[in-house]
Structure 1
Amino acid sequence: MDLQIALMLGQDGLVNGAIYALMALALVLVFSVTRVILIAQGEFVTYAALSMAAIQAGTRPAIVWLLLALALLTLLMEAWRHHQGLRVDWKSTVVWAVVLPAVAAAMVFGFKPQSAWMQAAVVLALIVPMGPLLYRLVFRPLAHTSVLFLLIVSVALHLVMAGLGLYFFGAEGSRTSAVWDASWDLGGVPVSGQSLVVVCAATVLLVAMYLFFERSIIGKALRATAINRVGARLMGVPTDLSGDVCFALAALIGVVSGILIAPVTTIYYDTGFLIGLKGFVAAIVGALTGYPAAVAGAVLVGQLESFSSFWASAYKEVIVFTLIIPVLWWRSLNTRHVEDEE
């Protein structure tokens, strides 16, 4: 390996690490607030990328029917909860289950967007509402169960969403056109405009999320819920709405990741699973609680994957996932074990 090859591999690792950092951010966010390890995070990436490809191909993304079905099921569940005498926040329910799905359906059936920005807006309108709808249907009724039970449900949700992805999009892979198709040769190392777009967009989103949690009232409410759910509820923070918001943010991050990565690699209905798992490895490095550590872990995973593909391409996935073992071993030696209820 010479310096030129090392620089090329480092560039690929940086691009991949930017996507894994977004995945790790979403996983840490969801787990901190709801105790859910969102295995299905990668499906948001897949749905967004394949929906973008369908729109660019001139067809309507069939995933709109899944969004409408989720909205209908959510309305039925909230009506049943109201009938049982439970408190229902109808304002947020109308927003997530009526207004946003109606806007998405109108955008899908009403016109065919030509510019990349409008196509991305349609994909955002389609996928982002799925986050809070899935939270209300699947995880909110189980909010007081153990982390292990929530993990089992999360795995089941991933399997269901992967199957639905195969049903709606088919088994064939798709790519989208590059956001920026420029390219340069820097010292013999090819640098594409799309790679710069991925790194810059991921950096901007990470900084925006940092400012959101540090400066905004909603971000501080999410942090309070993550630190002490009961205490946040006693202080007037609507913890159920906190779950809605964090799942919406996770879906938003997944959509951005899917739009960014679709021009770089061919996306299949199950591609998001591996992307999400590598983001999970990065989140484990950050102990599922620290954002800076998770981002550093994502860069490490990206570089490890890139250089492993050069030295041992057949075992690159094994090498990446093996990283979990020493990290968990180290944390098990340096972490005080407590009961789940504590």
Structure 2
Amino acid sequence: MNKDDKIYIAGHRGMVGSAIWRRLEAEGYTNLIGRTSRELDLTNQEAVETFFAENRPDYVFLAAAKVGGIKANNDYPAEFIHQNLAIQTNVIHNAWKFGTTKLAFLGSSCIYPRDCPQPIKEESLLTGPLEPTNQPYAIAKIAGIEMCKSYRRQYGFDAISLMPTNLYGPGDNFDLETSHVLPALIRKFHEAKERGDPEVEIWGTGTPRREFLHVDDLADASLHLMRRYSALEHINVGVGTDISICELAEQILDVVGYQGELRFNTEKPDGTPLKLLDVSRLRDFGWAAGITLDNGISDTYQGYQLRSKGDGSRLQPDSSNQ
């Protein structure tokens, strides 16, 4: 990519898109394009076609998505499959149609079977049943991978698919109804400390293990792969190590400074028991994560404290994430 190439970041106000935008600016790219959801509804086929016809970006980072944790996926399965399928279909098709040089589609590690061998290799896709709690979202992301592969095979369109592990960091969603586990625990422990609560409830048994990637590392990897990776198959993006939810809670508890007890509600779902990505292919392309979990949690908590001092709505996801 040249520094003055026109680069469209779909979802530039969301956690992933804003991190990619920051990284591109830091690298000296000067012709970045972003639209909020009010300016451009990516689920609207006609609106997206008009946008691409008028702007004709050279490169596209497709980071826009309808995202959420276990509760959100359970409560709103129709929105998760409909909105993500519509966004992906409109952006990928029109990027090809109006001459985009290359597109990077950002997916999720939830595409893999619930009980596949660990660490998860790219070849594990479609080898078994998905985790039921996020199946609609996962199916949408699998469709995005297949769409990129199909447009590459039929039209020669240089579309790549990046599958990141669990993300956290600046711009995260701290709304307890829709957030993922790490930001939810930060908020729960902070508010419990402020109120002096003797204990905090955590969903599930605490035994599932998860891998966590700082969103600034994902942005760095996305730019690295946009420059260097061009293949039919998707590629995992992660750190290559995992931690149990119980261990994660204790680590966040230390950062926040909460002195109470943890109470695991085993009547609530755990989700996938193990989910660690094999990142050997990513490392073969010369990239490895650089932000430790300790430093990343501290950074995220500092950002939460700044946001929580203002209007509580700032703890919710930006609507332009989609």
TM-score for both structures, normalised by structure 2: 0.28
Greater per-residue strand proportion: 2
> When the two structures are superposed, what TM-score results if normalisation uses the length of structure 1?
0.27
Instruction: Answer with 1 or 2: which has the greater Rg.
Output: 1
